[in-house]
Amino acid sequence: MDHEIIERYIGQPVRLPGDLRARIEREWGGKPVQLYALVDLDHALKLSESWLALGPEHVALARRTAGDEWDVVSVNRSRIHAVKDAPGLSANTLMLLSAPDDPPLMLLRYTQRQRGAFENIRFVLEEALAGRMVSGVSSNEADRMYAHAVARPVRDAQALVAGGGRESRVILRLLGYLKPYRRQLAFGLSAATVITLASLIPPYIAGYLLDRVVRPAQEGKLSRETAAGLAWIAVATMATLYLIRQAAAHVRLRFMAVLGEWVARDLRAELYEHIQRLSLSFFSRKKTGSLITRVTADTDRLWEFIAFGVVDVSLSLVMLVGLGAVLLTLDWRLGLIMTLPVPLFCWLIYWHGESLNGLFIRGWRKWSRVTDVLSDTIPGIRVVKAFNQEAREIDRFDERNEDVTEQFNQVHVAWTTFWPLLMLGVHATTVVVWAFAIPRLLGHGHPLSPGVFVSFLLYATMFVAPIEVIGQMARTVNRATSSAHRVFEVLDSEPEVRDVEHAVRLTPVRGSVSFENVTFAYDGVRQVLRGVSFDVAPGELIGLVGPSGGGKSTVVNLIARFYDAAGGVVRIDGEDIRRLETGHYREQLGMVLQDPYLFHGTVMDNIRYAMPTATLASVVAASKAANAHDFICRLAQGYDTMVGERGHTLSGGERQRISIARAILHDPRILILDEATSAVDTETEREIQEALERLIAGRTVFAIAHRLSTLRRASRLFVIEQGRLAEAGTHAELLEINGGIYRKLYNLQVQLQ
Amino acid sequence: MTTKDGEVQIPRCARDDREGARDDREGARDDREGARDDREGARDDREGARDDIRVRVGADGRLLVALDNRMIGVRVRQCFPWSEPHRHLSLRDDDEQEVAFVEDPAALEPESRRALEHALAVAGFVLEVTRVVDIDEEVEIRQWTVETVHGTRSFQTHLDDWPRVLPGGGLLIRDVAGDLYRLPDPHELDRKSRELLWAFVD
């Protein structure tokens, strides 16, 4: 899909040209190109096509010459002593340097678009300069890495459906969801067909009555009794037709609305189930709001499309063709006058929709300026008041409010002008029909009976509704395909962490955890863990310390199997974690996070979240152990107090203790404490610390903490820095290391206290 | 830190204690070591350094700030890239620490000014749009095709990202990759460009 994105949107080569790659590899004595990037700015800052290629021993720069040839300059990597970059607003510079006073080996300029591909190369070069090898960089991956890096911003911004995003394909896939409801669909479509047919008959009967009953009766050619009989039959037929039509309308509305709701329900269920199965990496790419919109607003829009759009559009097409055929059959001369302008009317409606689009964009833009003020000032009201800026904010809002009103009034002016004019056009066609029909009705030219003419006029009035639907068809389909793209994108995303066949269940988990030369990179190249190895015995309390961004959270993310290691093995009780049944394993894993999350529900529901069947007595016992029982009992509704979204507001320390109670009740064999006490005051920390000490007894615990004093009881401390296990040992042992990282950190914290 | 027009000033840096840790991490890189030593030295006597500080382009192509006898590799950051792009320039080292601050390059000696202006041309580079060829809406993104003084380019913005009006006139668009596109006031563009941009500007 990345290649498709580059080709379709970005308009730059999807890969390093094959002939150039072959030439570079020839110049390197057969050594492969492992990574490459497009150098899209030349020294004069003009957009250009040059390529930077990285191999195991060389770096090459290929520039296109005036004669459309490639000028390739290769540099042995051993000559590179430093890699420097200078980021700019849109032009970045990468310099490969040799000795300090020598000219640069290469000076490359590129736009932000190429940044990902360049950073991959820079990372590998810098690691090599630091004496480290980067695993996972291979010639087979070069094309994929380049395409992935270049396409990523677009891929993250847009919902793209696997296998191409052609509208027809997406609509067909959406209609596939109707399959289980074929019977209901058949009913709905049949009813809609009946409505169309039933609508076409009354005008014909009206004409028949005039020509075959009323006029002959007035002229004395038909007895009054016979005429009355025929007229009543016609009236009864019409009444029956209207009854059938409305009954069919009822069936159609009911079946299609319900059917649409079922399809939306199926989509929501499939979507939600799939979201639950997706790996954390997916959630780091997509915004929460966007995912919620997909499950709610997008499926609702698809309901509307399936319930009404599909049938309305298809029947309007049938209706237009049917009406055209009937009018031409009744009287082809008048029929032509009526039908010829129809495509023009459809186009005018389409054109009107398109021209409104610009006005809507302006309106939307100005509307966002209004909401910007609201989202600025309402959360920031304390600042507004503190700096006495209320009057200025009111003026700002008024100005934007006025602006958006004016803009939307322009939209109203546009459509209120268009539709009466369009109807004037339709009526003008009817007037032209009258103008041509009257001489013929009066006996000049080709004869025209009043009945046929009345039928004709009645049919003509039926043209308006389908014209309107057809004119807006493009917009209806566009809206539906946009929503379908967003829904299908989620459904097409594959979870990166998956169970193998015949996955192993550890019953129970004893709690030994081993890392064997584990490497990991969130983006596939830049490693955040570089060959980490350790063995932790069951029941050990391991403190993970080190600077931010060093890799501590990644270690616990791998223990929880939120991600799989890129290299090396993580073992639980000696078993490769990738061979474990993830769900079963996580049942025996607990986490207490820095910002504990409480779901909407009672305090009891939250404590019992992982064990809904736990007894109330065990809930109370867990709460007591978590030092939470006292404050819960102080709440007016005790354990039945609603918390979470729109619920009772609890302090950070209270929420933390509830999450500890949740973990105690869950009784995990491996426990992860991620900065569990960092966001609370000293007194609360003491209470939480007490609770944690009860919680960690008899389990394997990994605790991340910045306040090193909280880790004094740890069996061992692991200092993780720059993705490596830099130091390991007890608090006392680490303090003994002269110039040690832990010792520095510890002394720094003691000084600050 | 006192300020006078044209002076290159050295800020007080209170992060010396972190230097040690950083030194350990970067020990393997000889060139960095050299630069760091220079920086350390520069910090030691920063109070005294003033008018004798010059800006140069080094043999290796890097921008250097000369402080007495020391050379420090720096990059230029414009403090006000749109309000005052050619003044208030922060010269920063590889660790993004400000080494010097130039309020007005015009007051520097000619060679320093030239070196700084050259570096500024790259650091402040944005794609200058001369014509809007097409704007198309797709699922969740808006696809732009434009002609720039640097060549033709297609880029994408989020549907709810709007061009920003710049203080000195003209518009600025940021694409999903982070590249910036500067457009002149729409009145200075051709008719088709103006029509395409109409929905996006007041």
Measure in Å the smallest separation between the Cα of B22 and chain A Cα atoms. 11
Chain B partners within 8 Å of A102 (Cβ): 59-60
Residue of chain B nearest A158, judged by CA positions:
B140
Residue of chain A nearest B27, judged by CA positions:
A130
E strand or H helix at A70, and its extent?
strand A70-76
Is cis: bond before A13, omega within 30 of 0?
no
Q: Answer for the pair A749, A743: CB distance below 8 angstroms, yes or no.
A: no
Give the per-residue pLDDT at A678.
64
Interface check for B178 against chain A (CB to CB < 8 A): the answer is yes
Give the per-residue pLDDT at B25.
37
DSSP-derived secondary structure for A434-499? HHHHHHHHTTSSS---HHHHHHHHHHHHTTHHHHHHHHTHHHHHHHHHHHHHHHHHHHHPPPSS-P
| Residue B31 pLDDT grade (very low, low, confident, very high; cuts 50, 70, 90) | very low
Residue of chain B nearest A82, judged by CA positions:
B31
Measure in Å the smallest separation between the Cα of B140 and chain A Cα atoms. 5
How does pLDDT run across A48-70, given as a tens digit for each residue?
Answer: 999 999 999 999 999 988 778 89
B149/B134 Cα distance (integer angstroms)? 17
Interface check for B152 against chain A (CB to CB < 8 A): the answer is yes
How does pLDDT run across A696-712, given as a tens digit for each residue?
Answer: 777 899 988 877 777 77
pLDDT above 80 for A686: no
pLDDT above 90 for A38: yes
pLDDT above 80 for B28: no
Q: Is there a contact between A91 and B148 if contact means CB atoms under 8 Å apart? A: no
What percent of chain A clears pLDDT 90, i.e. is strictly above it?
31
Give the per-residue pLDDT at B66.
84
Q: For A533, what's the count of Cα atoms within 13 Å in the CB-facing half-sphere?
A: 4
Interface check for B81 against chain A (CB to CB < 8 A): the answer is yes
**Average pLDDT over chain A, rounded to an integer:** 87
Chain B partners within 8 Å of A90 (Cβ): 125-127, 178-180
How does pLDDT run across A293-346, given as a tens digit for each residue?
Answer: 888 888 888 888 887 787 788 888 888 888 888 889 988 999 999 889 988 988
| Residue B127 pLDDT grade (very low, low, confident, very high; cuts 50, 70, 90) | very high
Q: Based on the number of CB atoms within 10 Å of its own CB, is A135 exposed (0-12), middle (13-18) or buried (19 or more)?
A: middle
How does pLDDT run across A85-101, given as a tens digit for each residue?
Answer: 888 899 999 999 988 77
Beta carbon pairs, A and B, within 8 Å:
150
Q: Is there a contact between B139 and A158 if contact means CB atoms under 8 Å apart? A: yes
pLDDT above 80 for A390: yes
Give the per-residue pLDDT at A514.
93
The position carrying tokens 């409505």 is A195
How does pLDDT run across A336-349, given as a tens digit for each residue?
Answer: 998 899 889 888 98
Interface check for A359 against chain B (CB to CB < 8 A): the answer is yes
Indicate the pTM of the whole model: 0.74
Give the per-residue pLDDT at B53.
66
Which residue of B76, B99, B117, B125 to mutate against A (max A Cβ within 10 Å)? Answer: B125
pLDDT above 60 for B27: no
**Lowest-pLDDT choice from A166-170, A216-220, A554-558:** A166-170
Q: Is there a contact between A485 and B139 if contact means CB atoms under 8 Å apart? A: yes
Q: Is there a contact between A88 and B125 if contact means CB atoms under 8 Å apart? A: yes
Q: Is there a contact between A157 and B140 if contact means CB atoms under 8 Å apart? A: yes
Give the per-residue pLDDT at A161.
56
Residue of chain B nearest A84, judged by CA positions:
B94
The position carrying tokens 């590249």 is B179
| Residue A292 pLDDT grade (very low, low, confident, very high; cuts 50, 70, 90) | confident
A427/B81 Cα distance (integer angstroms)? 59
A601 forms bridges with which residues in the sheet? A643
Residue of chain A nearest B72, judged by CA positions:
A100
How does pLDDT run across A65-80, given as a tens digit for each residue?
Answer: 877 889 999 999 999 9
Interface check for A406 against chain B (CB to CB < 8 A): the answer is no
Interface check for A87 against chain B (CB to CB < 8 A): the answer is yes
Q: How many CB atoms lie within 10 A of CB A392?
A: 11
Which residue of A6, A43, A102, A111 to mutate against B (max B Cβ within 10 Å)? Answer: A111
How does pLDDT run across A460-483, given as a tens digit for each residue?
Answer: 888 888 888 877 777 777 778 878
Q: Is there a contact between B199 and A90 if contact means CB atoms under 8 Å apart? A: no
Measure in Å the smallest separation between the Cα of A676 and chain B Cα atoms. 26
**Average pLDDT over chain B, rounded to an integer:** 77
Measure in Å the smallest separation between the Cα of A497 and chain B Cα atoms. 28
Q: Is there a contact between B199 and A365 if contact means CB atoms under 8 Å apart? A: yes
pLDDT above 50 for A397: yes
Give the per-residue pLDDT at B41.
44
Greatest mean pLDDT among A419-428, A471-480, B179-188 lies in: B179-188
* Selection from A74, A27, A59 nearest residue A128 by Cα: A59
| Residue A632 pLDDT grade (very low, low, confident, very high; cuts 50, 70, 90) | very high
Local structure of residue B182 (DSSP, 8 states): E
| Residue A679 pLDDT grade (very low, low, confident, very high; cuts 50, 70, 90) | low
pLDDT above 70 for B1: no
Chain A partners within 8 Å of B94 (Cβ): 84
Chain A partners within 8 Å of B125 (Cβ): 41, 45, 88-91
Chain B partners within 8 Å of A361 (Cβ): 199-200
Measure in Å the smallest separation between the Cα of B94 and chain A Cα atoms. 8
Interface check for A362 against chain B (CB to CB < 8 A): the answer is yes
Averaged pLDDT, B74-88:
91
**Lowest-pLDDT choice from A526-540, B40-54, B136-150:** B40-54
Measure in Å the smallest separation between the Cα of B123 and chain A Cα atoms. 4
How does pLDDT run across A547-569, given as a tens digit for each residue?
Answer: 888 899 999 999 999 998 888 89
More confident site: A133 or A141: A141
Interface check for A574 against chain B (CB to CB < 8 A): the answer is no
Of residues B124, B138, B179, nearest to A111 (C-beta): B179
pLDDT above 60 for B23: no
Q: Is there a contact between A100 and B151 if contact means CB atoms under 8 Å apart? A: no
The percent helix, strand, coil of chain A (3-state, each to 5) is 60, 15, 25
Residue A614 CA to its chain's centroid (Å): 36
Interface check for B21 against chain A (CB to CB < 8 A): the answer is yes
DSSP-derived secondary structure for A584-629? HHHTTEEEE-SS----SEEHHHHHTTT-TT--HHHHHHHHHHTT-H
Interface check for A165 against chain B (CB to CB < 8 A): the answer is yes
**Lowest-pLDDT choice from A257-261, B150-154, B188-192:** A257-261
Give the per-residue pLDDT at A299.
85
Helix, strand or coil for residue A640?
helix
Give the per-residue pLDDT at A81.
92
How does pLDDT run across A504-525, given as a tens digit for each residue?
Answer: 888 888 989 999 989 888 876 6
| Angle, CA of A185, A190 and A195, to the nearest 5° | 125
How does pLDDT run across A586-603, given as a tens digit for each residue?
Answer: 888 988 887 788 888 899
Interface check for A164 against chain B (CB to CB < 8 A): the answer is no
Q: Is there a contact between A365 and B60 if contact means CB atoms under 8 Å apart? A: no
Residue at B83: amino acid letter? S
Measure in Å the smallest separation between the Cα of A654 and chain B Cα atoms. 36
Measure in Å the smallest separation between the Cα of A555 and chain B Cα atoms. 21
Chain A partners within 8 Å of B148 (Cβ): 47
How does pLDDT run across B129-144, given as a tens digit for each residue?
Answer: 999 999 998 877 899 9
Interface check for A372 against chain B (CB to CB < 8 A): the answer is no
Interface check for B14 against chain A (CB to CB < 8 A): the answer is no
Q: Please, which residues 29-58 of chain B have a Cβ atom closer than 8 Å to chain A?
A: 29-32, 34, 58
Helix, strand or coil for residue B167?
coil
More confident site: A630 or A646: A630
Give the per-residue pLDDT at A463.
81
Averaged pLDDT, B175-200:
93
ipTM reported for the complex, 2 dp = 0.77
A514/A180 Cα distance (integer angstroms)? 49
Averaged pLDDT, A191-215:
88
Interface check for A107 against chain B (CB to CB < 8 A): the answer is yes
pLDDT above 60 for B10: no
pLDDT above 50 for B30: no
